[in-house]
Amino acid sequence: MTGLRLAAAENGKTAFGIGERMARSLEYLRFKAKSHNALHACETVSRIVSEQHKYRLFIEIFPKDWERSTKSLYRTGYFKAYSERTNEFFQLVNDKRFPLLEYWHDDPELELERFAIPPMNFDLCCEEVDFAHLRDSYLAGLMFYFLEDDEIWNYFFEKYGVEKESLPTINTAHPNIWKEKHGANAKPFSDLIRLVDHSTGNPWLDITNCQYPDLFEWDKETVDWLTEAYKAANQYFKNLEQLDRRIEEDAQTFFYELISFWNTGKVGPEGQS
Amino acid sequence: MQPDESPLELLRAESEQINPAIILADQLMRREATVLLTVEEVNETENILAIGTQEIEAIESHRKAFQKSPASAVDYVPVGF
């Protein structure tokens, strides 16, 4: 077997162009040169099954792109362990679903049998607080975690004239702030504190750079779940815009209500939840 | 390994076959990549992979057993000596 038969059209059909058929033959010959080696055969089988799994996902998730695709099924792509077609799938996930090809995954030698996602949230564990890049509402949430740090209060005093002394003392967090359900008044504060605390239940918001990354499997359920979680994570940040507006409108009342919620699990002196 | 069996006897007891992963790999390499494996085929492939891997490990253990075997005299002169 020379591999040349694979270069010819099969069953009277011309499924590929000559370039793709030659790529297929070369891939076969590379295998054939080592085909006496059982270990290499096992690796080849594993690789083909893995690639087939990605093709199936490609068809399930992006059927139109699969139909249109002209990427090679045999030539290797940027990630050398995979064909150009599988690389196209990774790119589509990155472009249409969620960030995949950045942060952890920039090494072409990498095998993406499982994958990590980049954290979207601010790290409390190892980052210096850089006020300039944070929303005011997020910064307001941080004040519960940097109690000894007057920088945050100085910032709010300079920008909005809010003084720490004019507000209730910050106590330990009331257990009710972690309740799953809150009324319309308390929910924005609950969401803010969960976001700052990395306790949202959303992997994009809860993971940090300081922990070993969670690895996700390539299956449709996981890809769909991460896609929805990514949208929800962006919505979390979008919601901060409303809190920012409330701070701009009346910072004193905002901080009063936020601290009240932290201390009592309720909003405001009337105890609205 | 049974204590009364030598590495040679153990090796002789092994079945004579080409590692099934080699045959499967050749079949898969000839297959059109666009014709996706069915669930049954994937399961079968995983079974064969397990058998193939097991065989590689068995051969490796035979090789190590031979390497540990002490030299022994024979009662004939091998051809060429």
Within its chain, how far is the Cα of A236 from the centroid? 13
Which residues does B contribute to its contact with A (CB < 8 Å)? 19, 21-22, 24-26, 28-30, 32-34, 36-37, 42, 45-46, 48-49, 52-53, 55-56, 59
Q: Is the pLDDT of residue A270 over 70?
A: no
pLDDT tens-digit readout, A129-168: 676 788 999 999 998 988 777 888 888 999 999 888 889 8
Q: Which residue has the higher pLDDT, A147 or B25?
A: B25
Across the interface, of B19, B34, B42, the residue whose CB is closest to A38 is B19
Length of chain B in terms of residues written: 81
Q: Which residues pair with A272 in a beta bridge?
A: A267
User: Helix/strand/coil (H, E, C) string of chain B?
Assistant: CCCCCCHHHHHHHCCCCCCHHHHHHHHHHHCCCCCCCCHHHHHHHHHHHHHHHHHHHHHHHHHHHHHHCCCCCCCCCCCCC
Whole-number pLDDT of residue A23 = 84
pLDDT tens-digit readout, A28-40: 888 877 778 899 9
Q: Is the pLDDT of residue B77 over 90?
A: no
Whole-number pLDDT of residue A15 = 54
The answer to whether the beta carbons of residues A273 and A185 sit under 8 Å apart is yes
3-state percent helix, strand, coil for chain A, nearest multiple of 5: 55, 5, 40
Q: Find the mean pLDDT for residues B59-69.
A: 83
Q: Is the pLDDT of residue A14 over 50?
A: no
Whole-number pLDDT of residue B60 = 87
Q: Provide the 10 A C-beta neighbour count for residue A74.
A: 21
Whole-number pLDDT of residue A88 = 97
Q: Considering the entire predicted model, what is its pTM?
A: 0.80
Whole-number pLDDT of residue A16 = 65
Whole-number pLDDT of residue A10 = 52
